[in-house]
């Protein structure tokens, strides 16, 4: 069966510091991968998706970036965090973009101070 991992589970970082969140998927190959952010009391906002290694599409302009160095690895990064980057970050995978349900990892709660 498929499993999706995210780490760290929680993170407190000062403004201006860099960020790296990692997501890995087991039990499937060539998954579609997604990064979402959920602000308090809000729905999920799609940040990035990837259909393959090195292929990243951004949904919203921001100071975050994503990379997919391996088939089942997805990384969310920032060079300098802003207060507004605080939130709950979720990674998800699906079999085929636009046709199948997505399955979510446990999430990372980021607090920028």
Partner 1 sequence: EDKVVQSPLSLVVHEGDTVTLNCSYEVTNFRSLLWYKQEKKAPTFLFMLTSSGIEKKSGRLSSILDKKELFSILNITATQTGDSAIYLCAPLDNDMRFGAGTRLTVKP
Q: Looking only at residues 58 through 97 of this chain, which bind partner 1 when binding is defined by CB under 8 A?
A: 59, 90, 97
Residue 23 contacts residue 90 (beta carbons within 8 Å): no
- The CB density around residue 63, as the number of other CB atoms within 10 Å, is 13
47 vs 112 by CB, closer to partner 1 = 47
For partner 1, which residue of 21, 23, 33, 34 counts as binding (CB under 8 A)?
A: 34
For partner 1, which residue of 75, 85, 102, 112 counts as binding (CB under 8 A)?
A: 102
Strand partners, 65: 77
Structure tokens at 51: 């259909």
Structure tokens at 55: 């292929």
Site of interaction with partner 1 (CB under 8 A): 34, 41-46, 49, 59, 90, 97-99, 101-107
């Amino acid at each position: 069966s498929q499993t999706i991992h995210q780490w760290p589970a929680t993170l407190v970082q000062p403004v201006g510091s860099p960020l790296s969140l990692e997501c890995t998927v087991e039990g499937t190959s060539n998954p579609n991968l997604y990064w979402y952010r959920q602000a308090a009391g809000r729905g999920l906002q799609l940040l990035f998706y990837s259909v393959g290694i090195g292929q990243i599409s951004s949904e919203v302009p921001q100071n975050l970036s994503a990379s997919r160095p391996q088939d089942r690895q997805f990384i969310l990064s920032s060079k300098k965090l802003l207060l507004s980057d605080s939130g709950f970050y979720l990674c998800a995978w699906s079999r085929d973009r636009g046709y199948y349900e997505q399955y979510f990892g446990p999430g990372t709660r980021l607090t920028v101070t």
